Structure 1
Amino acid sequence: MRARHSAIIQNYRRDDPDDGPAVPGVQDARRTVFRFSVLIKEQLMLESSAQQLGDIDITPTEREETVQTAGGGFLDRYFGISKTGSTEKREIVAGVTTFLAMVYSVFVVPGMLGKAGFDTSAVFVAVCLTTAFGSLLMGVWARLPIAIGCAISLTAFTAFGLVLGKGLTPAIALGAVFLMGVVFTAISVTGVRSWILRNLPTGVAHGTGIGIGLFLLLIASNDVGLIIKNPAPGMPVSLGHITAFPVLMSVAGLAAIFGLERRRVPGGILLVVVGLSAIGLIFDPSVRFHGVFALPALSAPGHASLIGAMDIKGALSMAVLPSVLALVMTAVFDATGTIRAVAGQAGQIDKNGRIVNGGRALTADSLSSIFSACFGGAPAAAYIESSVGVAAGAKTGLAASVVGVLFLVVMFLSPLAALVPSYATAPALMYVGLLMLGNVSKLHFEDTVDTMSGLVCAVYIVLSANIVTGIMLGFSTLVIGRIVAGEWRKLNVGTVAIAVVLAVFYLGGWAI
């Protein structure tokens, strides 16, 4: 209270009559009137503050960003830019920086889904729409500097795990993505997410991330011919043609990404994708220029529209539901970890250690997957590349909103997607996969059972080329290991239930 009194008096000190000329008698009267007015203004401010606190329900888990009522323009007032110590110009520049760091996804995602039978031009538009929707929702509603787009890891799961791996149709795969978004949204809104994060084993959670990273490396390496199926008896895979043009370009591109990221060049991955595409246009006859601009279309001649094409009924089958569970579990841990990391970097963690507007952020993340499924895209997630924008000064949702607007502009450049060869996107996939291997550092090696079950999950995701299989083995070895070690008290109902359900699913022969 004394601090508040001092602040109020300090605010009015510029009007202190003591600063004026000393006039006997009049000076004392002016001083008395001034002090009396200060007391009145102080009381009015205290009453106003108490009234506001009584009318507004502010909880530490969902603290709303207070909209300023005076000073600055509309953007400054809405996003609270000045309050964070940032400026509109800085937020816009940071948003452009984030955009450059993640725009490579408009080439990588269509390339992966195209191999699974999706129309690449339509997927290009769907990726742009999903990223615009998610980033604008995150920026305008959650007011955090975190961009959302189609997740590379979950796209690989959808294309190579569901469609090519399990033989599902693209419509059923989209149905699985839709169900994942619905379940994830329910988890975020009801608070079940907190229970999941407290009770599910961290080893398997981080092991899933490691395994998906290895999976991406295998996919990209096989796609360019660096690693191929072994035609001779022995090991299932072998080294491909190391001197082939696509292999040389991919390895050189990956090394170039290392250097550019080390130098912190904005849009380093995009520069490599564009550079390799330009080299391919010159030296590779299969790379052809098809123009730059085109009106957005979610269908192409000979292809059905992707709008509302998901087969939800097919995704509800026993053969697909475990994959939906795997998508949900991966999304929960990935989204929470990414949002917390970027929010912490931007100073958007409250005094209780919770993400400012964290519930809204996770809901925006999950709703984006529902939106993406409806338009024929891949599962959406918060992009860790948002940290590049935060490093450039982003602190508010204006930066994420800028990303969303820029992806709406990119939507009119769909012919460029056909210009990008696989060896131009492979280095990006490899780099993302290598980054995901960083989850190894999050394993608690002092807990042998938890760590080893996580590594079992990671290794068998790539060895079986099936993410659900790796998760099943991870949960199963964790439960059995805890029991044998006499640590059964560390198990909880959720972990045991998931392990039993997945084991029954495989032992019953329902796995595809």
Structure 2
Amino acid sequence: MAEQESALRPGQEALVQPVAGNWLERHFAYTERGSSLRQEILAGLTTFLAMVYSVFVVPSMLGKAGFDTSAVFIAVCLTSGLGSLLMGFWANLPIAVGCALSLTAFMAFDLVLGQQLSPAVALGAVFLMGLIFTLISATGIRTWILRNLPLGIAHGTGIGIGLFLLMIASNEVGLVTRNTGAGLPLALGDITSMPVWLTVLGLAAIFGLERRRITGSILLVIVGLSIFGLLFDPNVHYTGLTASPQFGGEHSLIGAMDIGGALNAVVLPSVLALVMTAVFDATGTIRAVAGNAGQLDKDGQIINGSRALTTDSLSSLVSASLGASPAAAYIESAAGTAAGGRTGLTAVVVGLGFLLLIFFSPLAGLVPSYATAPALMYVGLLMLGGVRHLNTEDTIDTMAGLVCAVFIVLTVNIVTGIMLGFCTLVLGRLFAGELRRLNVGTVLIALALAVFYLGGWAL
């Protein structure tokens, strides 16, 4: 009997092995990479749960800038879904794509609320950013930028945006408020108010759940606080669970971008700042996740790296066209690689999950600000980790990076922080007699930003 079972097993395997399975194996080569179909699916679900909080946080931020939250919810789902599918099928890497929270903050609070641009012009700026980003990725200029632009400014920008996110979230729930009296501009808010103590509780919960390595910890906190709000907060109302996606109508953001409006001297520096932020942030994320998945070649380069970088930049073109903030590779993809994801099939599972979420847009209006604030604050705190990447042996580069970070927050303007960082770097090198350590690109950027501000074009 055992011999019969043994003899039948190969034939039975051939019968139960579906044609789709053969195609999946040939395309993704998960067996060759030391994975399996089950492992890739589980890894994809893990990544999806780790980053799905973005469909609530991004609409919340853009909603403050006048965007329709339901339309943004659909745009975020489409951007994340299509970007992840492209990364999976084309680059064959376990890296998911979604709307970047740092660049969302830039778009909402700097471009729209800070510079008073319309949402359409802001979307046009994101499209131009995606176009430039794609060109420099496809032509290899992205690699040149990474080699030649100062790392201090790059990391300082990330640190500054992290502080920016912390300030935005704290102000939104009333933990930090404008000081109406004399003295410093900010003051502690009403620490006894429900939004404040729920935010602090939520942030502490994320700390604890992340420490215990619980998958989807940020999502669990958002859901838990939203349920609390639904039960006890009269301002939170249940409007339904599912809805047919509306791709048209007066509130649709698809194709709403104003590219012509973004092509002016006031907006273009912000476009370049978006590009520079994305270049350093996204490239570092892709490399880190690919390394965790063992997808670096013998020379330490990312396997299918050019496709991954191009997918990353193309996704911002898609997001602008759909009405969302700039897209980028998500560091939460590391949760999937830790669960065994090794191929693009992991990203495909993530993409399919986001496309299914399109039918749940009413959930976007169910999430109060104190449910998303802990997520924003946690991401902001993580971005402060960029401090450890500063080269403390090069004090000029480090100090210029810190100038960039601090003045992003003090001026509530990301481009201003970048301008001050570049100018102090170049002038610092000049006074230190280290002109040879400067390159043409750095000097030109510093001069262009200085002229822009001294000429009175900055807002």
**TM-score with structure 1 length normalisation?**
0.85
Q: Is structure 2 residue 182 aligned with structure 1 residue 233?
A: yes
Where does residue 362 of structure 1 map in the other structure? Answer: 309
What CA deviation, in whole Å up to 9, does each residue of 1:190-241 have, x standing for no partner?
A: 0001110010000000000000000000000000000000011110000000
Identity %: 71
Distance 1:299 1:155, change over 3 A: farther
What CA deviation, in whole Å up to 9, does each residue of 1:47-93 have, x standing for no partner?
A: xxxxxxxxxxxxxxxxxxxxxxx996211111010001100000000
**Distance in 2 (alpha carbons) for counterparts of 1:157 and 1:458:** 14
1:305 Cα deviation from its structure 2 partner: 2.7
Where does residue 443 of structure 2 map in the other structure? Answer: 496
- For residues 186-335 of structure 1, the aligned pairs below 5 Å read 186-298=135-247, 303-335=250-282
| Matched letter for residue 370 of structure 1 | L
Where does residue 42 of structure 1 map in the other structure? Answer: none
Contact 2:56 2:364 in 1 (8 A): yes
Where does residue 404 of structure 1 map in the other structure? Answer: 351
2:95 maps to which of 143, 146, 149:
146
- For residues 101-120 of structure 1, the aligned pairs below 5 Å read 101-120=50-69
Runs of 4+ deviating beyond 2 Å: none
1:136 Cα deviation from its structure 2 partner: 0.2
1:385 Cα deviation from its structure 2 partner: 0.2
**Distance in 2 (alpha carbons) for counterparts of 1:136 and 1:269:** 23
Contact 2:50 2:216 in 1 (8 A): yes
Secondary structure of 1:83's counterpart equals coil
Secondary structure of 1:266's counterpart equals coil
| Matched letter for residue 293 of structure 2 | A
**Distance in 2 (alpha carbons) for counterparts of 1:120 and 1:262:** 32
Where does residue 41 of structure 1 map in the other structure? Answer: none
- For residues 130-169 of structure 1, the aligned pairs below 5 Å read 130-169=79-118
What count of residue pairs does the alignment treat as equivalent? 441
What CA deviation, in whole Å up to 9, does each residue of 1:129-152 have, x standing for no partner?
A: 000010000000000000000000
**Distance in 1 (alpha carbons) for counterparts of 2:375 and 2:435:** 42
Secondary structure of 1:167's counterpart equals coil
**Distance in 1 (alpha carbons) for counterparts of 2:121 and 2:68:** 16
**Distance in 2 (alpha carbons) for counterparts of 1:194 and 1:265:** 36
2:338 maps to which of 380, 387, 391:
391
- CA RMSD across the alignment: 1.1
Secondary structure of 2:32's counterpart equals helix
**Distance in 1 (alpha carbons) for counterparts of 2:45 and 2:73:** 20
Secondary structure of 1:238's counterpart equals strand
Q: Is structure 2 residue 321 aligned with structure 1 residue 374?
A: yes
| Matched letter for residue 457 of structure 1 | C
**Distance in 2 (alpha carbons) for counterparts of 1:307 and 1:229:** 36
| Matched letter for residue 495 of structure 1 | T
Q: Which runs of 5+ in 1 are unaligned?
A: 1-69
**Distance in 1 (alpha carbons) for counterparts of 2:230 and 2:70:** 19
| Matched letter for residue 448 of structure 2 | V
**Distance in 2 (alpha carbons) for counterparts of 1:85 and 1:280:** 45
Where does residue 121 of structure 1 map in the other structure? Answer: 70
Please say which structure displays the higher CA radius of gyration: 1
Secondary structure of 1:228's counterpart equals strand
Contact 1:139 1:400 in 2 (8 A): yes
Q: Which runs of 5+ in 2 are unaligned?
A: 1-18
Contact 2:160 2:405 in 1 (8 A): yes
Contact 2:71 2:251 in 1 (8 A): no
| Matched letter for residue 488 of structure 1 | L
What CA deviation, in whole Å up to 9, does each residue of 1:219-267 have, x standing for no partner?
A: 0000000000001111000000000000000000000000000111010
What CA deviation, in whole Å up to 9, does each residue of 1:82-115 have, x standing for no partner?
A: 0011000000000000000000000000000001
